[in-house]
Structure 1
Amino acid sequence: MTETPSFRSDITVELVKHSASDTDVLWAARVSTAGEQSLDEIGKDPERSKGLLNFLMRDRHGSPFEHNSMTFLITAPIFVFREFHRHRVGWSYNEESGRYRQLEPVFYVPGPDRKLVQRGRPGKYEFVPGTDEQHVVVGKVMEESYRQAYAAYQEMLAAGVAREVARAVLPVGLFSSMYATCNARSLMHFLGLRTRDERATVPTFPQREIEMVGERMEEEWSRLMPLTHAAFNANGRIAP
């Protein structure tokens, strides 16, 4: 356990376990017409059924996309997880607890490529790059605030105050970690809302930090289920 605050602008996403492939969608879909013979799909080349995957996505037959599983280990600022946990259908979460362990002093500071200035009104706004001076102010103020907050946290712990009480002074810029488990359908819904893509039929305005998580999850998923991923993109990035 280190007691010296450190600062970072990146997030990490690791695929730790999965049972997910394009054939999972195919045998689940074909049970409606083939019954138990639908299991024959498991040993077949899914490329031959690319059209079926596209049909299911296009006409929004969603349940066949639920018969798979992916578990990710995500390390990100707490404020990212507070947005993440709004996704409840098809997701399971377990996050590290400030009640049961002393929290590490690792804090989020935006990187130089993070756009800082919001223009417009909610629902019709854009972010533009900040000036060098604004980036300096953000870094300086955040780091000072983080150091002060963590010092207060340490002071209470040293006085014998319970971790679950002392943690109240820590900011949402503190890094946390969690396991998140989903299926392809729930992940597509997440990506449709939390990433921006020119192929999307419906425009979205995600916060950049949760979009970073979504991008890395999508990279992993696209390798596991390339045909499903392609059909998602070809049909406007709308979850079926």
Structure 2
Amino acid sequence: MSIHKETLTGQTLLIDADDTLWENNIYFERAIASFISYLNHREYSPQQVREKLNQVERETVLSHGYGLSSFRRSLMECFERLSVEDLTEEKRERVLSFAQSIADQEIELLPGVAQTLPVLASRHRLILMTKGNEAEQADKLVRSGLAEHFTAVEIPREKNPDAYRSVCARYELAPHTTWMIGNSPKSDINPALAAGLHAVYIHHHHTWVLEHEHFDEAPSGQKFVELESFSHLTQWL
């Protein structure tokens, strides 16, 4: 569903961080590729190893949440389950190095973000709403240089309808003037629509596989917009 192409003013925009404002998942994909190559499983194909890792990650997220520490656990657990050799200290350090390569990455803003956020901030109230490890996400925001554009930061353990309702209650936001903007159907779009908000989906070619989900239809009175680039937001909001 699209909306009339007329700039709206005085809205509240909840904006996701990873893979909406800056690159994130591509670094995990590179680390996973290195892990699979290092494991070099004799029976499972690379795709089968990836499927095993996806399952481990689903389990780890439930028990330890999101973030690099959770990813490290997933890599170690997957290696221990699939490797036919004992886990030596050398192997352990090598597996952990794949996760460390992500931590060493500089923040890379996505195209148009640096130019677009100030324009949006001049028109609307911006709140960063991104799930994950609180310390990691807060550190990335500081390093991104974008913190000044946000009036508040919310880092829930999970972005579900209750999390959106809680944020709306905390900041006294009216759902009909509040938008969630992000790249994940599972965390950004569907739960925001379920909570009564409007939503904007920003395409990203490398959205994490665990965030894939079919889009729910926007309920009557709510709006759902799909955009190819973050910079296109100024044409709508």
Give TM-score, length-normalised by structure 2: 0.32
Which structure's CA Rg is the greater one? 1
Give TM-score, length-normalised by structure 1: 0.32
Q: Report the structure, 1 or 2, having the larger strand content.
A: 1
